[in-house]
Amino acid sequence: MLKRKLALTALTVVLGASPIARAADLSAIQTVVVIYAENRSFDNLYGGFPGANGLADAKPEQFVQRDRDGTPLKGLPPIWGGTPAGVAKGAPEAPVPATQAQSEAWLGTFNHPYPVSALYGQVSKEATNPLRYANRDLYHRFYENQMQINGGKNDMFAAWGDSGGMVMGYFAPQPEDLPLWGWASRYVLADNFFQGAFGGSFLNHFFLICACAPRYPNHGVNPVEGGKNPPVSILEADGVTLKIAAKSPPSAMQGKPLFEASTNLTPDYYAVNTMQPPFPPSNNADPTQTTVDGKLATTLPPQTAQTIGDLLTAANVDWAWYAGAWGYALSHKPHEDIDGTNVPRFQTHHQPFNYFEAFAPATPEGKANREKHLRDGGMGGTDFIAAIDAGKLPTVTFYKPQGDLNEHAGYADVAKGDEHIADVLRHLEKSPQWDHMLVVVTYDENGGWWDHAAPPKADRFGPGSRIPAMIISPFAKKGVVDHTLYDTTSIIRFITHRWSLPTLPGVAMRDEAMAKAGGARIGDLTDALVLQ
């Protein structure tokens, strides 16, 4: 019944695709570009994509959300605080607010996914396109994500989130609404690609570059004299479930959950939720972005784990991380915006290499590494696009769009970020380097949005929820939905495969855990390519 109600939009027009290029081996690929957007589950954006494992493929029982005691909810909870919560002033299109009371009147009548447009349609005839609303942010944290996944049933997203029934919303875009749908239809959309780690952006950026969780040293004792020690999360005996606070509402219908301690650290001092970089730009830096206050409990001490950058440097393979608005962030106070709209133009915890000792600006080696490898993408990505057009991208290039272009709910809208990434792709396709290029477009994590696909079982850190990913290249298959099992580590797997680099310890750990769990091996993206 629900499948008929979803009215999912099918993409009926496929843009013209160039003939498939074939390569005898991976050496034909000489440039890899990774574009890393923010906070969307697969079903949230691509649940209606033709040929993909989407909403129409889910079994009816997979839609049902359960209360905190495990019983099925009779209806979805209200959106606690309503949709204006977390929406930045000056959002690209002023949203028609859905108050908590308005959401309660509608969401309480059903227990299944719904189009976000239908939510706004219930409260105002003036509602336009929620793809151009910042909407509101949702919980996307390490332990909460595991509790929401609930062993693969994905039936407690509403119970353990802070936004009530908002977690079950999805977008059913027309092809012209999201230009990346066109790119996905021309090349490869991966519908079995999972975020590398449970939880949020901070940890998943680490998994992109090292497949590792950062560690707080000294058994959680701040190494700076007089520094504050960060608290640890308090868990139940299973080591996964957060201990519920006594005053927490017993039902998801009564309010968002409260925990005794859901912090940035695990009990054994892994940093799994957002902490600040020890080097500028950092939200814990002084007003001139010269030094970072290491005494603060939210400052992560410098890390020393091996990264994909280390492997590439050792093999003399040129690489760089381009960050949109990097130069702006280095020259402005923490949290300072451009035009007084309070829209973040830069997120310090989205810059993983800036947490590593190898990039310490106070040392000659660190300063040199920063100048070579940590590059300013420019406001609106202008400097990055200039490097594309000039054919001067490093062999391995990462690009992180600035805050208002990354699609993160609460301060960015989907449409603006999607249009920006599509524009970058158009420049890449015209680049002098295109004929030997592979581009991966994906999202760091689900952003708290529900998805029906069960993540594979592996190690304590992930994989987490399913996210969209595209493989775009002259050597990519054309018009294909790739069902191969992938996660965020598939990107560094491909890079190490292509340049015959050593296996990173975190990748080896994941493979071992997958094997012990009896699961399939995680792919390295080569199944998306046409190789002779």
- 26, 433 Cβ separation under 8 angstroms: no
Average pLDDT on 29-35 reads 98
The count of C-alpha atoms lying within 13 angstroms of the C-alpha of 479, restricted to the half-sphere facing its C-beta, is 10
Asked if residue 342 has pLDDT above 90, the reply is no
Q: Which of 21-25, 46-50, 484-488 has the lowest mean pLDDT?
A: 21-25
How far from 134 is each of 89, 139, 170, 402, CA to CA, in Å?
A: 10, 15, 14, 15
CA-nearest of 441, 433, 496, 456 to 209 is 496
Look at domain 22-55+172-528 and name its CATH class.
alpha beta
| 63-87 average pLDDT score | 89
Give the pTM.
0.94
Q: Out of 92-106, 177-191, 229-243, pick the least confident.
A: 92-106
Residue 177 is predicted with a pLDDT of 83
Residues 6 or more apart whose Cβ sits within 8 Å of residue 183: 422, 425, 441, 470, 472
What does 39-51 look like in DSSP terms, one character per residue? S--HHHHHTT-TT
pLDDT, residue 37, reads 97
Q: Whole-angstrom Cα distance, residue 496 to residue 179?
A: 31
pLDDT tens by residue, 168-205 = 999 987 767 899 999 999 999 999 999 999 999 999 99
Mean of pLDDT over the chain: 91
pLDDT tier for residue 154 given thresholds of 50, 70 and 90: very high
Strands (E), 168-209: 169-170, 188-190, 193-194
The total of other beta-carbon atoms located within 10 Å of residue 356's CB is 25
Domain boundaries defined on the chain: 22-55+172-528, 57-138+158-170
| Residue 400 DSSP class | E
Query: What is the model's pLDDT at position 1?
Result: 39
pLDDT of residue 98: 83
Q: Which of 77-91, 164-178, 235-249, 402-416 has the highest mean pLDDT?
A: 235-249
H or E segment and range at residue 31: strand 31-37
Angle between helices 414-430 and 179-186 (to 10 degrees): 50
DSSP of 467-487, one letter per residue?
--EEEESTTB-SSEEE---EE
- φ, ψ at 253 (rounded to 5°): -80, -10
Can you give the length of the chain in residues? 532
Indicate the pairing of strand 114-115 with strand 188-190. unpaired
Query: What confidence tier does 18 reach under pLDDT thresholds 50, 70, 90?
Result: very low
Using DSSP's 3-state secondary structure scheme, residue 322 falls into strand
Distance between CA 238 and CA 53 in Å, rounded?
32
pLDDT at 239: 94
Please provide the distance, in angstroms rounded to a whole number, between the alpha carbons at the two ends of the chain: 45
Q: Answer whether residue 25 shows pLDDT above 70.
A: yes
| Range scoring the smallest mean pLDDT among 316-320, 335-339, 446-450 | 335-339
pLDDT over 50 at 17, yes or no: no
What is the model's pLDDT at position 93?
A: 64
Residue 209 phi/psi, 5-degree rounding, is -105, -20
Question: Could you tell me what percent of the chain has a pLDDT over 90?
Answer: 82
Reading the block at residue 41, the tokens are: 């589950």
Confidence of residue 6 (pLDDT cuts 50, 70, 90): very low
pLDDT tens-place string over residues 291-322: 999 999 999 999 999 999 999 999 999 999 99
E strands of 308-429, at which residues?
319-324, 374-378, 396-400
